[in-house]
Amino acid sequence: MTLLTLKPKSHNRVRNGHLWIFRDELAPHEPLQAGTLIRLHTDYGYDLGVGVYHPTSQIAVRLLRWQNESLDGFFEQRITEALQLRARLFPTEPTYRLVFGESDFLPGLIIDRYGDYFAMQLLSAGMDVRKNEIINAIRTVFPNTKGIIAKNDSQLRVKEGLRTEEEVVYGEIPDEITVTENGITLSISLTHGQKTGYFLDQRRNRATVAELSNGLSVLDCFTNQGGFALNAAKGGASRAVGVDISASAIERCKRNAELNGFENCEWLKDDVFDYLKQQAQQEAKWDMVILDPPAFTKSKANIPQAKRGYAEINRQALKLITNGGFLVSSSCSHHIAEPMFLEIIEAEAKRINRKLKLIQRGMQSPCHPIYVPMPETQYLKFFVFEVR
């Protein structure tokens, strides 16, 4: 196995548990192919473990194993360990993120479980060249696997020099899969849905909305497949309206409401920015407004533009909320830190003379655990405010 060495004074972050080694942290070495297993040492000879080399990425090495851990049955062991946690968290509903990359010590790999079906993303060259090993490991850990789809359409693959693609890599994937979350039946599509089929990171936060919704009128913006609105309906909302610009998403919302017999749901195809402005102009009032937009930025360069977007939707939402109602606001943009996001909302409330009480602070669902030495694994911000 090829030995790579860190430059002097480059070891502290890695010895503290971080799994990434950047290109400028490595001492000069011979050219290596993508996915090559390497052993990593500090400049003074300390063994940091085994990693995967990436020749075109700024992240030159992603660590897989520490010191003398064996690589025998590596993927089966890691997936089994990940399953042990999820089985404790969600013992009766096998709908969750099974593997969350670095947080499950499988950097560059995402696996979502929907019962006996699995959607995976191979986000690094090191994982891509081991696709068949990963497929076999899933089938070993889950003998009843019916289908696995690789949803490799992320732009992160482009940075790794990989092509984007989507393919069924084992078994069959039906057009519709029915699963349950928070006691709600959901129809999802792994072949046509966004990312890996469903946004599982908001699971616990959707349950929070259900707890607060009894008797309230609820507006769910960027509803996607209806998750928050459906939970509000289950929680007893007098009216739950979901808005999304995607026609296919709205059709999926209607299907999900029908599956659960929810008659208090309405679905609108519209641009959320335009819809919020129209509602404000009409002086409409809602007891709860939920904002769960897609990421407004995926790079530091676009932070100012993203801040303007968050400011706009939160300001318009605050205009609509009844006295004593709730603003539920979320951001999945990693580059918008929690203090910055809170500051944006506070500024917009002050601007239109609304008073906020923060009553709930959430994060990504526990099936997306945060690996403490890597702040990069924390990305979702979720706030619930009482508005006066």
- Set out the domains of the chain in order of their start, with CATH numbers: 2-65 (2.30.130.10), 74-173 (3.30.750.80), 178-387 (3.40.50.150)
**Model pLDDT, residue 194:** 66
* pTM of the predicted structure, to 2 decimals: 0.94
Residues, the chain: 388
Would you say residue 193 has pLDDT above 80?
Answer: no
For the stretch 243-300, pLDDT in tens is 999 999 999 999 999 999 999 999 999 999 999 999 999 999 999 999 999 999 888 8
Task: Determine the Cα–Cα distance for residues 342 and 156; give it in Å rounded to an integer.
Answer: 28
Average pLDDT, the chain: 95
Report which of 123, 125, 156, 106 is spatially closest to residue 298, judged by C-alpha positions: 156
Task: Determine the Cα–Cα distance for residues 150 and 152; give it in Å rounded to an integer.
Answer: 6
**Model pLDDT, residue 271:** 98
In degrees and rounded to multiples of 5, residue 137 shows phi and psi of: -65, -40
**Model pLDDT, residue 195:** 67
User: Could you say which of 221, 253, 265, 332 is catalytic?
Assistant: 332
Q: Which residues contact 208 (CB under 8 A, 6 or more apart)?
A: 360, 362, 384
- By the 8 A CB rule, do 294 and 356 touch? no
* C-alpha distances out from residue 343 to 223, 248, 324, 356, 382, Å: 24, 34, 21, 12, 13
Which residues lie across from 185 on neighbouring strands?
180
Task: Determine the Cα–Cα distance for residues 189 and 177; give it in Å rounded to an integer.
Answer: 6
Would you say residue 70 has pLDDT above 90?
Answer: no
Q: What is the C-alpha end-to-end distance of the chain, expressed in Å?
A: 63
Residue linked to tokens 């999945």: 332
Q: What is the mean pLDDT of residues 203-215?
A: 98
- By the 8 A CB rule, do 136 and 130 touch? no
Q: Is 338 helix (H, G, I), strand (E, B) or coil?
A: helix
Task: Determine the Cα–Cα distance for residues 325 and 202; give it in Å rounded to an integer.
Answer: 21
Task: Determine the Cα–Cα distance for residues 243 and 271; give it in Å rounded to an integer.
Answer: 8
| Pair of tokens at residue 145 | 């696997």
Would you say residue 60 has pLDDT above 90?
Answer: yes
For the stretch 113-161, pLDDT in tens is 999 999 999 999 899 999 999 999 999 999 999 999 999 988 888 888 8
Least confident interval from 235-239, 301-305, 344-348: 301-305
Decide if 332 is catalytic.
Answer: yes
H helix or E strand, kind and range, residue 64 = strand 59-65
**Model pLDDT, residue 95:** 96
Q: Which residues contact 12 (CB under 8 A, 6 or more apart)?
A: none
Task: Determine the Cα–Cα distance for residues 112 and 102; give it in Å rounded to an integer.
Answer: 15
Task: Determine the Cα–Cα distance for residues 93 and 204; give it in Å rounded to an integer.
Answer: 13
Q: Give the strand order in the sheet containing 321-331.
A: 265-269, 239-244, 217-221, 286-291, 321-331, 381-387, 356-362
For the stretch 73-105, pLDDT in tens is 999 999 999 999 999 999 999 999 999 999 999
Count helices and strands in the chain by DSSP H and E runs? 11, 19
Q: Is 298 helix (H, G, I), strand (E, B) or coil?
A: coil
Report which of 305, 308, 387 is spatially closest to residue 352, judged by C-alpha positions: 387
For the stretch 336-378, pLDDT in tens is 999 999 999 999 999 999 999 999 999 999 999 999 999 999 9
Q: Is 370 helix (H, G, I), strand (E, B) or coil?
A: coil
